Amino acid sequence: MSTINPLLCFKKLFLPLVIGINFVSLPPYLAYAAETSYPSVSKLKDVAPSDWAYQAIQLLIERYGIITGYPDVTVTFKGDRAMTRYEFAAALNKVLQQVEKLIMQERTLISSHDLATLQRLKQEFEAELTTIESRVDELETRTNFLEANQFSTTTKLNTRVILAATGGGFKGDRIIDVTGEEITIEDPNATLIYRTTFSLNTSFSGTDSLVTWLEIGSNGIDDNTGGFLEPTFGSVLDYSAKPPVEEFGISRLYYTFSPSDELNLTFGSTLSLTDYIDTNSYINPSFLNFSTLALVQNYLLFPVQGLGAGAAVEWNPVESIRVKAAYVAASADETSSDNSFFTPGIFPIGYILYPNGESEGGLFGDPYQGAIELEFTPVEAFTMRFQYTAGDILGERFEVLGANFELDISDRVAVFGRYGYGSYNNTAFGDINPNYWMAGIAFPDLFMSSAISGIAVGQPFIVDKIGNATQTNIEAFYNFPVNDNIRITPLVQVVTNSANQDSNGTIVSGTLRTVFSF
C-alpha cells in the first residue's frame, strides 16, 4: 500500500475536502483511483449494504477505527439493512471529522486510495452533507438566541393554572352553623373558580433553592358550594381557600439549603406548615388528589392555617426514618394585633372557639404554631407518620397529636388514613378534646396510565359539646391526563350533618377541575 506524507496531504487535499473549500486538482494517479470502479449512487434513495459507498464506509471504519461510539454502529454497518441517504451522510460526516483529527494529530498514515474514496463519497453525498451543515448552523443559531434571551441561568419558572366549575345544593329548608345561626335557605349558585401560580425556583449552588410563588385566586370559601354552606369544618375546596383572595401576591417565599446529604434547612417570610407536615402520597396536594380541606389534611392539626414567617428542618439519618420540624408565625410582620376584625392565618374554627380572643402579632407572638413529625418507612410499600403540634391562637393554647399512614396493597390499589386528637382550653364551649379521622382507598393508573382516582370518608371535628351530631365528609374523584400538561378531574363531595347539626340536610356538590401545568 503506497503512503503519502499526512501533513502535506491534509494541506493540499483533505483540508479543503472537509471544510468545503473548492477542491484542488488531484495528482493523476489519485484522480484515476477516484474515477474507477465506483458506480454512481447519487440518485439512489437508500444506500444498500451491496452498494460500494456502504462497503467503503464500513472498510474505513474497520481500518482506522474512526467511528467508535457512533450510534447503532453494530447494526448499521453489519450488512443487514439499508440506510437512508441522510443516515449515510451523517455517518460520512463523522468519518470526515475523525480522519481530519487523525491527520492533524499525525497519529495515522492515510492511504492515497482511501483519501480518493473519501473525495468520491463527498461528491456523491454533497447535497446531504450541505443540508446537515445548514441544520447544524441553524441549531447553533437557535441555541445562541436561547442563551442570549433565556429567562435566567439560575432560575426556573413553572406555572400552574386551576380552573374548576362547581355547583350543588342541600336537602331541607335551611343550613345553620355550629352556633345555630342561619347561613342560607337557598341553594347557592354554580360558580367557576380559579387559581394561578407562578413558581420561581432559583439555585445558586445546585444544592439550594430560593423559592418564590406568585399567586392569585378567586373568592375563597364563598366561591364554592361546600365552602359556602359549611365553612367551619373543612368542606371548602383547598385550592380555593388557600391563595390570596382576589389579589396577586406572594404565597411562598423561602430559602432551602442542604448542609449535608441528610439535612435540609428552610427559612423564609412566607411558609405553610402543610408543605412539610402531614403529607401523604394519595391524599394531597389538592390540585392532584382530593380537594376538600377535611380530607386533604388532618383538620385538627393546623389551626394556624394561613401563611407566615418561620423555618423548617428535615433530617434523614437513615433511609427508613425521616424527622421533620417546622414553625410558622402567621402575623410575624405585625408589631401588634387585635381581634377587632380579622387576624390572618387563623382557620375559621378558631373564631368559633374564641369569638372574643385577641392576637399579639410578631415573630414569636400569637398566632403561632410549631410541629414535629416522625416518618417511618420499614418497607417500600408502607409509610407511617406521627405528629405533635402546639401553639397559641387568639390568646389561648392548643395541642394536637396526629397519625398518618399509606399502604400499597399492589401496583393498582392503595389504602391510607389519618387520625387526630386535640386539646383546646377555655373555648366558648368549655375545655374540649376533639377527635378527627379519615380513611380511603386509591386506584393508581385506573383505566389508563398516569390516571389517579380515589374515594375517602372522614369526620373532621368529633366533639360532644358542639352541635348534636357529627359531620361526615365523603369525596370521590377521578383524575386523568389529557396530555403531559393538562389533567381533568371530575369529583363529587357529600356532607352529612354539616356543622355537627342533625337538622342540616345532606349537602351534595360536584366539581370539574382542570389543571394546566407548564
State the CB neighbour count (10 A cutoff) for residue 247: 9
pLDDT tops 60 at residue 2: no
Closest CA to 344 of 325, 366, 364, 314: 366
**Which among 108-112, 259-263, 324-328, 361-365 has the top mean pLDDT?**
324-328
**491 has pLDDT over 80:** yes
Task: Name the pLDDT band for 78 (thresholds 50, 70, 90).
Answer: low
The answer to whether residues 393 and 304 touch, using CB atoms and an 8 Å cutoff, is yes
Q: Which percentage of the chain shows pLDDT scores above 90?
A: 45
Distance CA 403, CA 284 (A): 15
Distance (Å, rounded) from C-alpha 384 to C-alpha 374? 8
- AA identity, residue 3: T
242 confidence band (pLDDT: 50, 70, 90): confident
- The closest alpha carbon to 124, from 57, 29, 49, 24, belongs to 57
pLDDT of amino acid 485: 93
Q: Using the Cα atoms of residue 15, residue 20, residue 23 and residue 26 in order, give the sign of their dihedral.
A: positive
**Highest mean predicted confidence (pLDDT) among 10-14, 119-123, 213-217:** 213-217
Q: Are 200 and 212 in contact (CB under 8 A)?
A: yes
Q: For position 8, what pLDDT does the model report? A: 42
* 414-427 and 507-517 strand pairing: unpaired
- Cα distance between residue 361 and residue 349, in whole Å: 19
Classify residue 111 by its DSSP letter.
Answer: B
Q: At residue 467, does pLDDT exceed 60?
A: yes
> Can you tell me the mean pLDDT for 394-415?
94
Q: Would you say how long the chain is, in residues?
A: 518
* pLDDT value at 232 more than 60: yes
Q: Residue 157 pairs with which residues in a beta bridge?
A: 200
Over residues 306-325, mean pLDDT: 92
Task: Provide CATH code, domain 151-517.
Answer: 2.40.160.10
Residue 212 has pLDDT above 60, yes or no: yes
pLDDT reading at 22 higher than 80: no
Classify 211 as helix, strand or coil.
Answer: strand
Residue scoring higher pLDDT (6 or 116): 116
One-letter identity of residue 109: L
Is the pLDDT at 381 greater than 60? The verdict is yes
| HEC string for 336-381 | CCCCCCCCCCECHHHHHHCCCCCCCCCCCCCCEEEEEEEEEEEECC
| pLDDT recorded at residue 343 | 67
Q: Give the domain ranges of the chain.
A: 6-148, 151-517
pLDDT at 12: 43
Please compute the mean of the pLDDT values over residues 142-168 and round it to a whole number: 80
CA distances to 179, 336, 343, 392, 395 from 355, in Å:
11, 19, 12, 15, 11
**Residue 478 per-residue DSSP state:** E
More confident residue, 129 or 336: 129
pLDDT in tens, 192-211: 999 999 999 998 888 899 99
Between 518 and 45, name the one with better pLDDT.
518
pTM beyond 0.75: the answer is no
Kindly state the average pLDDT of the residues 151-180: 88
Q: What is the mean pLDDT of the chain?
A: 83
